[in-house]
Amino acid sequence: MGAGLLEVTVDLGDRDYPILIGAGLIGASQTYERAPAGGTAVVVTNTTIAPLYATRVAETLQRRHARVLQVVLPDGEEHKNWVTLNTLFEALLSQACDRKTVLYALGGGVIGDMTGFAAACYMRGVPFVQIPTTLLAQVDSSVGGKTAINHPLGKNMIGAFYQPRLVVADLDVLDTLPDRELSAGLAEVIKYGPIADADFLAWIEANLDALLARDKAALAHAVKRSCEIKAWVVGQDERESGLRAILNFGHTFGHAIEAGLGYGEWLHGEAVGCGMVMASELSARLGLMPAGFVDRMRRLVERARLPVQGPAQLSAPRYLELMRIDKKAEAGAIRFVVIEDLGRAGVRTAPDELVADVIEAHTAA
């Protein structure tokens, strides 16, 4: 293992688990010491990541497991569905995987969300480990136990809360990440500032160029601080009965963009980036934040090379229709995460006309 190993704990009583952050982690057998050993390991990955990292992970796991299998799924958000999930179940059943089998999710958020959901369901629950390979997955999706697949009518609509046993965030794997995916990950990093930590927002603004240049020290800090904030939230409200909703800042608008365009056209992080600009505008129009805050967020999202205008083909009424089946909606009322003060978020409803104005103000002509 490389020097400078960082660790964050997700504090969930007897389901506590560590997030290890550092260099050279995926090929070191001591990395996996706190995950269950013996029996079968299944490395679940996709066609892009398999040739890059699956052999290194599988060879390392061979020192801890009697048998190591690989399941390679198709790549892309459009495959985060029942069909792909069933491919995974068929592979597990046809290889006689038993209840002691450990699933290792080697990939971005799509692989992590699907593997976690499969682990929650297979034989009513088998252990799983997250090995996130995108920035987005390292700062967000691998932590906290939200697992799901998409439905044409709504994002992440079929899923379960199911925690991993260990998260391994190896910063070296980010070297091969395409620039567009790096930017998508930065959207979720930026999110943590306005919702929970004004100083972190200022740090991101000051260090955005270093992050875009993949400076390892900057990335290490961004991953660690993001995981600390997410762990702090999840530790208090694992199943989103209240506080956890703040992690959805920008997502009510963003999920509507993803579903409205058909999954995969805009990346999740791109939709969240644009969604945060809209949610900032809503916060200002509700009188919670000054207009300058919207400019500040728009500038930062733009500097991260993310879209700040919604897609021209999605009308405000279409957003409203899609947002009514958002998971936070209650009795048909859409609930939005808004910023109440820098570093503090809350959940509010807003009149449809106001929401439509906000969307139109930030949509390409």
Ligand X SMILES: NC(=O)c1ccc[n+]([C@@H]2O[C@H](COP(=O)([O-])OP(=O)(O)OC[C@H]3O[C@@H](n4cnc5c(N)ncnc54)[C@H](O)[C@@H]3O)[C@@H](O)[C@H]2O)c1
Summarize as ranges the residues that interact with ligand X (CB under 6 A): 46, 48-49, 52, 75, 77, 80, 107-111, 113, 133-134, 136-137, 140-141, 144, 146, 156, 173, 176-177, 181, 184, 268-269
Question: Which residues lie closer than 8 Å to 116 by C-beta, 6 or more apart?
Answer: 105, 128, 130, 145, 147, 160, 162, 164
Q: How far is the CB of 304 from ligand X (least distance, A)?
A: 14
Instruction: Given the residues 240, 258, 270, 281, select the one marked as catalytic.
Output: 240
- Contacted entry of ligand LNCXM5UN, ligand X, none for residue 281, CB cut-off 5 to 8 Å set by kind: none
244 is an interface residue for ligand LNCXM5UN by CB under 6 A: yes
Q: How far is the CB of 220 from ligand LNCXM5UN (least distance, A)?
A: 20
Site string for ligand LNCXM5UN, 293-332 (x = CB under 6 A): ----------------------------------x-----
In this chain, which of 65, 146, 225, 298 binds ligand LNCXM5UN, going by CB under 6 A? 146
Q: How far is the CB of 306 from ligand X (least distance, A)?
A: 12
Instruction: Given the residues 65, 181, 248, 298, select the one marked as catalytic.
Output: 248
Q: Is 155 annotated as a binding residue?
A: yes
Task: Examine the residue annotation and report whether 240 is marked as an active-site residue of this protein.
Answer: yes
Question: Which residues lie closer than 8 Å to 202 by C-beta, 6 or more apart?
Answer: 193
Instruction: Given the residues 191, 221, 224, 244, select the one marked as catalytic.
Output: 244
Kindly write down the DSSP assignment for every residue of 80-134, as one continuous string: -SHHHHHHHHHHHHHTT--TT-EEEEEESHHHHHHHHHHHHHGGG---EEEEE-S
Instruction: Given the residues 165, 224, 255, 335, select the one marked as catalytic.
Output: 255
Q: How far is the CB of 37 from ligand X (least distance, A)?
A: 25
Task: Examine the residue annotation and report whether 251 is marked as an active-site residue of this protein.
Answer: yes
Task: Examine the residue annotation and report whether 255 is marked as an active-site residue of this protein.
Answer: yes
- What token pair was written down for 353? 């006309």
Q: Of 97 and 306, which has the nearer Cβ to ligand X?
A: 306
Q: Which residue is nearest to ligand LNCXM5UN (CB)?
A: 156
- What token pair was written down for 54? 């699956």
CA 352 to chain centre: 28
Q: Is 110 annotated as a binding residue?
A: yes
Q: Which stretch binds ligand LNCXM5UN (CB under 6 A): 27-35, 244-252, 288-296, 308-316?
A: 244-252
Q: How far is the CB of 335 from ligand X (least distance, A)?
A: 18
- What token pair was written down for 245? 């909703």
188 is an interface residue for ligand LNCXM5UN by CB under 6 A: yes
Instruction: Given the residues 188, 228, 258, 281, select the one marked as catalytic.
Output: 188
Q: How many CB atoms lie within 10 A of CB 176?
A: 12
d(CA 292, CA 289): 8
Q: Which stretch binds ligand LNCXM5UN (CB under 6 A): 24-32, 124-132, 240-248, 347-355?
A: 240-248
Q: Is 75 annotated as a binding residue?
A: yes
Three-state secondary-structure class, residue 68: strand
Q: Is 77 annotated as a binding residue?
A: yes
Residue written as token pair 């066609």: 47
Handedness of CA 202, 204, 209, 210 (dihedral sign): positive
d(CA 355, CA 335): 11
Burial of 269 from C-beta contacts in 10 A (0-12 / 13-18 / 19+): buried
Please write down the HEC assignment for all residues of 229-285. HHHHHHHHCCCCCCHHHHHHCCHHHHHHHHHHHCCCCCCHHHHHHHHHHHHHHHHHH
Query: In the complex, which residues of this chain contact ligand LNCXM5UN (CB under 6 A)?
Result: 140, 144, 146, 155-156, 188, 240, 244, 247-248, 251, 327
Q: Which residues are annotated as a binding site?
A: 75-80, 109-113, 133-134, 146, 155, 188, 251, 268
The residues carrying an active-site annotation are: 124, 146, 188, 230, 240, 244, 248, 251, 255, 268
